[in-house]
A = this chain, B = another copy of it.
Amino acid sequence: MSRRPEDPPLFYRAHVFCCTNERPEGHPRGCCKGKGSERLRNYMKARAKELGLKDVRINASGCLDRCELGPSVVVYPEGVWYTVRTPEDVDEVLKTPLIEGGRVRRLMMDAPASATPSTAD
């Protein structure tokens, strides 16, 4: 289910979803809100505005179901997921994927095989 030539243009060049789901304290899976995701999302939204990023939307979302790896952030249309723990992590996601169109490997949840250290001698 990728884009088709006849699909309308993307409404947002980059559409970011930050999980802000909260679970009861002590839940075995934890939750993104318990790891500060709401504050980080608010910071991301404010910084995107300050930077004048056009055609970019920073949304809060319900549980993205990757709780153990959170605070969870997914950037569409590329569908790349990041663990965003600090304001510095937010800044890096704004700079690299959203401004430069790159990827932040050190924060990526599903690191490509080529990015994992080799086990060969």
Cβ of A64 within 8 Å of any chain B Cβ, yes or no, is yes
How many subunits of this chain does the assembly comprise? 2
Distance in angstroms between the alpha carbons of A7 and B3 in the assembled complex:
16
Cβ of A111 within 8 Å of any chain B Cβ, yes or no, is yes
**Contact between B13 and A110, CB atoms less than 8 A apart:** no
A residues 1-49 touching B (CB-CB < 8 Å): 1-4, 6-15, 17
Interface of A is mostly: loop
Given A1-B97, A1-B101, A4-B78, decide whether A110 and B66 contact each other with a Cβ distance below 8 A: no
Given A59-B17, A62-B60, decide whether A112 and B1 contact each other with a Cβ distance below 8 A: no
The 3 closest A-B pairs by CB, nearest first: A8-B110, A60-B62, A76-B76
